[in-house]
Amino acid sequence: MDPMGGGEALADDVQARLCDDLAQRPTAASFIAWLGDEPVGLINTFEAYSTFKAKPLLNVHDVAVLSAHRGRGVGQALLAACEALARERGCCKLTLEVLSGNRRALRSYESFGFVPYVLDPAEGNALLMQKWL
- Residue closest to 29 by CA, chosen among 7, 56, 52, 6: 56
Q: Is the pLDDT of residue 39 over 90?
A: yes
- Split at pLDDT 50, 70, 90, the class of 65 is very high
Of the listed ranges 7-11, 50-54, 59-63, 112-116, the least confidently predicted one is: 7-11
Specify the pTM: 0.90
pLDDT of residue 127: 87
Q: Is the pLDDT of residue 45 over 70?
A: yes
Q: What is the mean pLDDT of the chain?
A: 93
List CB contacts of 32: < 8 A, sequence separation 6 or more: 39, 41, 42
Residue 108 CB-density burial (10 A; 0-12 exposed, 13-18 middle, 19+ buried): buried
Q: What are the chain's domains?
A: 3-116 (3.40.630.30)
How do beta strands 55-65 and 28-35 pair? unpaired
At 74-124, the pLDDT tens digits run 999 999 999 999 999 999 999 999 999 999 999 999 999 999 999 899 999
